[in-house]
Amino acid sequence: MRLKGKVALVAGAGTGIGAATARRFVAEGASVVLTGRRPGPLAEVAADLGEAALAVPADMADTAQAREAVRAGVERFGSLDVVIANAGGHGGNAVADTDDEDWRLSIESNLTTCFVTCREALPALVESKGAIVVVSSIAGLTAGPAVAGYVTTKHALVGLTRSIARDYGPRGVRVNCLCPGWVRTPMADEQMDELVERDGITRDEAYALVTKDVPLRRPATAEEIAAICLFLASPESAIMTGSVIVADGGATAVDLPTLAFA
């Protein structure tokens, strides 16, 4: 068990990557604090995990709520060793079509949530010499169409990761940034359903369409991304901090101008 006796806080733990990571961590011996804005999904995951899980519904962009989630976890389990900063998701539209409220929501949901989560957890992580995994996206490295807020804030998470690594590495805290490509999650399913409606195809065909030029020709599963979170949280990655790890089936390895020759 690679996380035996460790305590992890997983933000965005109700579904998708967060839920899969929480389950994997408990299987590896950890106790988990599950946070997110929707109490229902958190309660379902916590019920599956039993005494090893504590659900704390919270908007982790809110300082008071994030602080309380950290406090509740430390009080229940005795320490905090790992943070998975996974919450986020807003940010559609091109720049000229993004109004002030959309821009504010993009920053709050993707960047502020991660910043506040990490800031409020850092005192406990310094004490435990713990680890943070910032879940960004390949949108933190490249730009998709008409998602300016999402792309901008996911890029910013790479900078936040490096800043924390530089400042808190000397105090024993590691932080790495994970950039997945397409992952089969409820959020991605909603995006696939746009293609389902537009093209009259199935959801599986939509996933095949968006990965047709990806070398592995498929999206990841949430469990595959959870396995990488486990590696980054465990002693197996003890020398790694400030790193950007891409898990995209090879998508960002593709030279787009040569696609016509394929």
Residue 17 lies in a domain: yes
> Are residues 227 and 214 located together in one domain of the fold?
no
Q: Calculate the average pLDDT of the chain.
A: 96
Residue 207 lies in a domain: yes
Residue 262 lies in a domain: no
Task: Give the integer Cα–Cα distance in Å for 233 and 129.
Answer: 11
CATH number at residue 132: 3.40.50.720
Can you tell me the mean pLDDT for 226-244? Answer: 98
Give catalytic status of residue 150 as yes or no.
Answer: yes
pLDDT at 255 over 80: yes
150, 168, 182, 207: the active-site residue: 150
> Are residues 145 and 195 located together in one domain of the fold?
no
How many structural domains is the chain composed of? 2
* Residue 110: per-residue pLDDT: 96
* Residue 250: per-residue pLDDT: 98
Structural domain boundaries, residue 206: 184-218
Residue 30 lies in a domain: yes
> Are residues 136 and 199 located together in one domain of the fold?
no
> Are residues 22 and 106 located together in one domain of the fold?
yes
The maximal CA–CA distance of the chain, rounded, in angstroms, is 59
* Residue 190: per-residue pLDDT: 93
pLDDT at 51 over 90: yes
pTM as predicted: 0.96
> Are residues 144 and 71 located together in one domain of the fold?
yes
Least confident of 19-33, 81-95, 183-197, 222-236: 81-95
> Are residues 189 and 241 located together in one domain of the fold?
no
Can you tell me the mean pLDDT for 166-195? Answer: 97
> Are residues 193 and 138 located together in one domain of the fold?
no
> Are residues 81 and 44 located together in one domain of the fold?
yes
Q: Where are the alpha helices (DSSP H) in 78-147?
A: 100-106, 113-128
CA angle 171, 176, 177 (to 5 degrees): 145
> Are residues 147 and 198 located together in one domain of the fold?
no
Can you tell me the mean pLDDT for 132-141? Answer: 97
pLDDT at 63 over 80: yes
Task: Give the integer Cα–Cα distance in Å for 12 and 183.
Answer: 15
Can you tell me the mean pLDDT for 88-113? Answer: 92
> Are residues 141 and 192 located together in one domain of the fold?
no
Can you tell me the mean pLDDT for 163-184? Answer: 98
> Are residues 84 and 211 located together in one domain of the fold?
no
Residue 256 lies in a domain: no
- In a 3-state reduction of DSSP, which class is residue 54? strand
Answer for the pair 121, 60: CB distance below 8 angstroms, yes or no: no
Residue 254 lies in a domain: no
pLDDT, tens digit (0-9, with 9 covering 90-100), for 73-92: 999 999 999 999 998 887 78
Residue 259 lies in a domain: no
Residue 252 lies in a domain: no
CA angle 141, 8, 247 (to 5 degrees): 25
* Tokens standing for residue 41: 């999904």
> Are residues 59 and 168 located together in one domain of the fold?
yes
**Gyration radius of the chain's alpha carbons:** 18
Task: Give the integer Cα–Cα distance in Å for 262 and 253.
Answer: 14
Can you tell me the mean pLDDT for 37-46? Answer: 96
